[in-house]
């Protein structure tokens, strides 16, 4: 069976785990170990490489939801993670000092995958920090020659996350009907 | 162990949390095909440090003091140039890791021999590690580790006042077909099922409250000050700097007034005055609305399925960018229409045909986008070629996996 997936990426704290949890049909596999000391408590049974969720579709198919490790942009596996990927959801935290820099970094890191598929950008924490605005993000994207969907997203809100993923799908094919 | 068999290098990791360590372990085992394995500090051949960790400098000094002859690999977003280390720039990939490990093996005699047969301790044969700089197109900028490692986390000041403006941050309302008519109302003089009526399905925003709101916003932005629009109805306050509207009215009241064509003499009842700032700061927080979201829904209520004057439905139009749908009222097929018009210019009639959707849905969407300045127009001769090329791709709705995902997301 083909492994189809949607990849969630973004800096630490942007809401990847929360967003996956919002639309996953199963409780996402926890990825954060309780202990922070790296020299101790390396228990293989409690540590996983990335966040994971799943959407069960009609007919038995599954869509895997992968959240990339975002800790300090520790970015392994970009080159294999995207295999079988339908598209990319990029979540950006609007309270970070330079979210534009974050955006450029992830768009560049996944550049080839985005060119082959599509990306939709969700800006989180806009209720805590109203600037930069969504229009500001579009201005930056215009400089990069990109016009992806950019939405304000509360990662806890299933509707917000769902709309963002819908936009990703429609940008792949506007003719989709669901 | 047989001569020539590949024995993986042993790497100890520093400056990484459990998840990153696990990720690296899997990465070395999988994509890197077992070229190295992660081990503890005692057994390692190589030390690998995340140089972006705030304690990276301290870790490096500790490692050098403990195992001075052990090769050290630094991982960083910055281009580091630190003596006696190997550097890999993030994002890490297989080629980088393989290249560096091969160079370490080539320059470290103890690592050229199978460790199980002849392990030389670092104390018996001191090894000098050459400085190696990761090749980059530009000259690497020398960055002192402590400068980068001590870079502040950079979290901005949290705007607690913003959090109180709950109406601004509510998730979008998505209208289905039945809800559309109830939400918008109807225009009895136009038969949208008859394409010959489409050309007449227009309205002039200046004859409605929408026009005055847009004028007030434009003036407030030009003058960069808070202005109050006074009418026969309720007063509306425009905050140009924060892109907000304050209005003490619910959607039902606003919808009724928005859909009402104002008489020729209505302009005398509309005045624009400076808002009393002392009063404005005490306004109810939940009455604040995002300016774009407010204008969008007023445009929808004014449109009732028509398009605004100024749009030629037979001339190609395109979207400059996606609307922020999560904070806007989403009319039927709005996202499909947006996706199509972002990709390439189309006439309104083409959109109706290609997406097999109702003209009201297209016209109301265009009305809302036009109000926010999201629409653009292209020269016909350029667009015709593009339209011909791309029509074949989407003349038939795509079923299959993506449709199933969509159905799932929409709760079908």
The interface predicted TM-score of the complex, written ipTM, equals 0.88
- CA A71 to chain CA centroid, nearest Å: 14
Helix (H, G, I), strand (E, B) or coil at B75: strand
Q: Please state, in angstroms and as integers, the Cα–Cα distance from residue A94 to each residue in A69, A70, A117, B288, following that order.
A: 19, 16, 25, 20
pLDDT of residue A9: 92
Neighbours of B156 (CB within 10 A): 16
Beta-ladder partners of B230? B271
pLDDT of residue B209: 93
- The average pLDDT across A133-160 equals 95
CB contact under 8 A, B93 and A79: yes
pLDDT in tens, chain B (412 residues): 344 446 889 999 998 877 778 778 878 887 788 899 999 999 899 999 988 887 888 999 999 998 888 999 998 877 888 888 999 888 788 888 889 998 898 888 777 644 443 333 334 344 333 444 444 444 434 433 433 333 334 445 556 667 666 666 665 666 655 566 666 666 777 888 888 888 889 999 999 999 999 999 999 999 999 999 988 888 899 999 889 999 988 888 898 889 888 876 666 677 888 887 666 556 677 888 999 999 999 999 999 999 999 898 989 999 999 999 999 989 999 999 999 999 999 999 999 999 999 999 999 999 999 999 999 986 554 444 444 444 334 333 335 788 888 888 887 5
The residue of chain A nearest to residue B341, with distances taken between CA atoms, is A174
CB contact under 8 A, B394 and A175: yes
End-to-end CA distance of chain A: 23
- Work out the minimum CA distance from A61 to partner chain B, whole angstroms: 8
The residue of chain B nearest to residue A72, with distances taken between CA atoms, is B52
Q: Contacts of residue A109 in chain B, CB cutoff 8 Å?
A: 91
pLDDT of residue B231: 85
Q: Poorest-confidence range of A52-66, A105-119, A132-146, B348-362?
A: A52-66
Under a CB-based contact definition with an 8 Å cutoff, are residues A66 and A98 in contact?
Answer: no
- The average pLDDT across A114-137 equals 93
In angstroms, rounded to a whole number, what is the distance separating the alpha carbons of residues B87 and B79?
8
Give the DSSP H or E segment for B182.
helix B177-184
Who's near B386: CB < 8 A, 6+ residues apart?
B344, B345
In angstroms, rounded to a whole number, what is the distance separating the alpha carbons of residues B202 and B194?
15
Q: Please state, in angstroms and as integers, the Cα–Cα distance from residue B54 to each residue in A37, B16, B152, following that order.
A: 14, 11, 9
Q: Does B22 touch chain A if contact means CB atoms closer than 8 Å?
A: yes
pLDDT of residue B126: 40
Helix (H, G, I), strand (E, B) or coil at B76: strand
Q: Does B91 touch chain A if contact means CB atoms closer than 8 Å?
A: yes
Dihedral, CA of residue A65, residue A70, residue A73 and residue A78, to nearest 10: -20
The residue of chain A nearest to residue B402, with distances taken between CA atoms, is A169
Q: Which of A5-14, A71-80, B1-10 has the highest mean pLDDT?
A: A5-14
Q: Contacts of residue A20 in chain B, CB cutoff 8 Å?
A: none
pLDDT of residue A79: 66
CB contact under 8 A, A76 and B27: yes
Helix (H, G, I), strand (E, B) or coil at B69: coil
In angstroms, rounded to a whole number, what is the distance separating the alpha carbons of residues A30 and A48?
8
Q: Contacts of residue B322 in chain A, CB cutoff 8 Å?
A: 147-151, 167
- Work out the minimum CA distance from B337 to partner chain A, whole angstroms: 7
Q: Which residues of B336-369 are buried (b: 16+ CB within 10 A; e: fewer)?
A: bbbbbbbbebbbbebbbebbebbbbbbbbbbbbb
Averaged pLDDT score across all residues of chain A: 82
Who's near B167: CB < 8 A, 6+ residues apart?
B286, B287, B288, B289
pLDDT of residue B55: 85
pLDDT, tens only, A13-70: 899 989 999 999 987 665 554 434 333 433 333 334 567 889 888 888 888 898 886 5
Under a CB-based contact definition with an 8 Å cutoff, are residues A153 and A123 in contact?
Answer: yes
Give the DSSP H or E segment for A167.
helix A158-172
């Amino acid at each position: 069976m083909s492994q189809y997936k949607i990849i969630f990426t973004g800096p630490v704290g942007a809401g990847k785990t929360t967003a996956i949890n919002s639309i996953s049909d199963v409780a996402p596999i926890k990825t954060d170990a309780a202990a922070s000391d790296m020299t101790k408590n390396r228990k293989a049974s409690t540590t996983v490489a990335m966040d994971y969720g799943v959407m069960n579709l009609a007919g038995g198919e599954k869509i895997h939801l992968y959240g990339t490790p975002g800790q300090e942009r520790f970015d392994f596996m970009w080159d294999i993670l995207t295999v079988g990927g339908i598209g990319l959801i990029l979540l950006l935290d609007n309270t970070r000092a330079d979210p534009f820099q974050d955006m450029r970094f992830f768009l560049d890191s996944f550049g080839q995958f985005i060119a082959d598929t599509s990306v939709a950008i969700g800006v989180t924490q806009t209720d805590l920090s109203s600037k930069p605005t969504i229009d500001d993000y579009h201005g930056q994207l215009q400089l990069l020659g990109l016009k992806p969907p950019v939405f304000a997203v509360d990662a806890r809100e299933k509707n917000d996350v769902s709309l963002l993923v819908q936009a990703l799908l429609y940008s792949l094919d506007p003719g989709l009907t669901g | 162990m047989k001569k020539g068999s590949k024995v993986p290098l042993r790497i100890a990791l520093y400056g990484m949390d459990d998840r990153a360590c696990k990720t690296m372990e899997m990465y070395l085992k999988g994509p890197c095909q077992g070229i190295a394995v992660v081990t503890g500090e005692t057994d390692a051949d190589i030390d690998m440090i995340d140089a972006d960790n705030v304690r990276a400098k301290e870790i490096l000094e500790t490692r050098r003091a403990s195992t001075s002859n052990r090769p050290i690999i630094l991982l960083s977003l910055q281009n580091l140039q630190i003596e006696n280390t190997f550097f890999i720039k993030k994002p890490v990939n297989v080629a980088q890791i393989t290249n560096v490990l091969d160079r370490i093996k080539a320059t470290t005699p103890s690592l050229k021999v199978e460790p199980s047969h002849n392990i030389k301790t670092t104390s018996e044969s001191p090894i000098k590690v050459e400085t190696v700089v990761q090749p980059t197109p530009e000259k690497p900028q020398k960055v002192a580790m402590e400068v980068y490692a001590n870079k502040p986390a950079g979290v901005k000041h949290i705007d607690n006042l913003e959090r109180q403006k709950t109406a601004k941050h509510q998730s979008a309302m998505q209208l289905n077909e039945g809800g559309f008519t109830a939400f918008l109302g109807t225009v009895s003089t136009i038969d949208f099922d008859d394409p010959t009526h489409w050309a007449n399905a227009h309205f002039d925003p200046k004859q409605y409250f929408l026009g005055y709101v847009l004028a007030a916003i434009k003036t407030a932005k030009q003058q960069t000050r808070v202005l109050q629009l006074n009418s026969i109805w309720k007063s509306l306050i425009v905050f140009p700097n924060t892109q907000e509207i304050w209005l003490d009215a619910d959607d039902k009241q606003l919808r009724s007034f928005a859909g009402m064509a104002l008489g020729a003499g209505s302009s005398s009842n509309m005045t624009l005055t400076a808002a009393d700032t002392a009063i404005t700061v005490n306004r109810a927080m939940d009455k604040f609305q995002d300016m774009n979201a407010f204008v969008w829904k007023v445009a929808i209520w004014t449109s009732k399925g028509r398009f605004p004057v100024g749009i030629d439905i037979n001339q190609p139009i395109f979207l400059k960018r996606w609307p922020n749908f999560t904070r806007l009222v989403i009319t039927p097929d709005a996202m499909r229409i947006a996706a199509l018009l972002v990709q390439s210019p189309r006439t309104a009639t083409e959109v109706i045909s290609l997406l097999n959707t109702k003209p009201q849905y297209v016209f109301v969407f265009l009305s809302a986008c036009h109000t926010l300045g999201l629409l653009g127009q292209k020269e016909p001769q350029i667009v015709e070629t593009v339209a011909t090329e791309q029509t074949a791709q989407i003349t038939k709705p795509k079923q299959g996996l993506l449709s199933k995902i969509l159905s799932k997301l929409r709760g079908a």
